[in-house]
Amino acid sequence: MLQGLRTIVYYVGELEAAKEWYKKVFEIEPYFDEAYYVGYNIGGCELGLNPDDTGYSNGNHSITYWGVENIKSAFDRLASMDVDIHEQPNNVGGDVWVGSIFDPFGNVIGLIENPAFKLS
């Protein structure tokens, strides 16, 4: 079911400034660049920048996402394990879906269905 680590999303607040900073750090252009999300393919993993940082605080600005082929079935399976829901699956643009749960220890486990992202 789980396909391996795929994506880490940083919630940045100031998307344009963050996009420029990460372009310099990784010396790479984003493969996906929209007002609501910017994505970089870095060695087969995605670094995503999300401008909506509401609900996040210093030191708590990221979620690591595990790749899945079908988010609905993967999310339903995890949600059935008596966990709290962090974020219901939702479409974040195109064919990309994300959702997340809290594990019993307070960690956020993210799931991402992104058929456009290919391992390099």
Q: Which residue has the higher pLDDT, 106 or 73?
A: 73
Q: Which residue has the higher pLDDT, 107 or 5?
A: 5
Q: What does the pLDDT read at residue 102?
A: 85
**pTM value?**
0.67
Strand partners, 20: none
pLDDT value at 120 more than 70: no
pLDDT value at 35 more than 90: yes
Mapped onto helix, strand or coil, the DSSP state of residue 14 is coil
Residue whose token pair is 């420029």: 20
- What mean pLDDT value characterizes the chain? 88
Q: What does the pLDDT read at residue 97?
A: 96
Residue whose token pair is 């220890």: 105
Q: How far apart are the first and last CA of the chain?
A: 21
pLDDT value at 94 more than 80: yes
CA 25 to chain centre: 19
